[in-house]
């Protein structure tokens, strides 16, 4: 796996680089293709944040964690990525199999055949509710107000200026984000 390690307000020392490389190298066994990972380490106040993004052909893996200790944050983010990979491995390979692809994104594990049936049953996505609604033209500020009034963490709306579907969402830091469709 190719790594791009970057630091904001922190110098990436050889010890940090080696630790991150060692931890991320365990994911090589999961993938059939050579992937690259972007690692961003940030230091602010008394917290240290590590963000890891692994873009693949058929899916994007991303995790971030904060901790007072950078090495502990790396361990936490690796655990989070490991859970994501195990959760999605079967689903992604099954979808590729259904499309008739000869190449799967994830490499088969030694005990994969026995676990596939159990994992497929456990990891099936069950849609329990479907909603339909008319998109009302509005601006992003009005959409945020609507989202807050409903008590949701996202809101889909028709942008009155561009006449395209947009989504506003509440971020972890208390601010808001906007997703615009192309």
For 58, other C-beta atoms within 10 Å of its C-beta total 15
User: Would you tell me which CATH number, out of the four given (3.40.250.10, 3.30.450.20, 3.40.50.300, 3.30.160.100), belongs to the domain 2-122?
Assistant: 3.30.160.100
Query: Strands of 60-67's sheet, edge to edge?
Result: 2-8, 36-44, 47-55, 60-67
- Enumerate the domain spans of the chain: 2-122, 137-180
> pTM higher than 0.95, yes or no?
no
Tokens 């009302």 locate to: 136
Question: pLDDT per position in the chain (182 positions), as tens?
Answer: 788 999 998 999 999 999 999 999 888 877 767 788 899 999 988 899 999 988 876 677 888 999 999 999 999 999 998 888 877 777 766 666 666 655 544 555 555 444 455 555 555 778 788 888 788 889 999 899 888 877 789 999 999 999 999 999 999 888 999 999 88
Is the distance from CB of 18 to CB of 3 less than 8 angstroms?
no
Query: Considering the domain 137-180, what is its CATH architecture?
Result: 2-Layer Sandwich (3.30)
């Amino acid at each position: 796996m190719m790594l791009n390690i970057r630091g904001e307000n922190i110098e990436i020392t050889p010890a940090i680089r080696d630790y991150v490389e060692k931890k991320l190298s365990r994911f090589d066994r999961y993938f059939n293709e050579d992937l690259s990972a972007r690692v961003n380490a940030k230091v602010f106040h008394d917290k240290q944040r590590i963000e890891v993004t692994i873009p693949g052909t058929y899916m994007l893996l991303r995790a971030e964690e904060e901790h007072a200790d950078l090495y502990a944050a790396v361990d936490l983010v690796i655990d989070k990525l490991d859970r994501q990979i195990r959760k999605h491995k079967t689903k992604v390979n099954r979808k590729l199999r259904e499309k008739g692809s000869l190449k799967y994104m994830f490499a088969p594990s030694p005990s994969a055949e026995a676990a596939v049936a159990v994992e497929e049953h456990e990891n099936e996505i069950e849609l329990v509710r479907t909603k339909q609604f008319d998109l009302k033209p509005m601006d992003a500020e009005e959409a945020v107000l609507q989202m807050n009034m409903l008590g949701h963490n996202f809101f889909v709306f028709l942008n009155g200026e561009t006449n395209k579907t947009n989504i506003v969402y509440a971020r972890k830091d208390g601010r808001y984000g906007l997703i615009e469709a192309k």
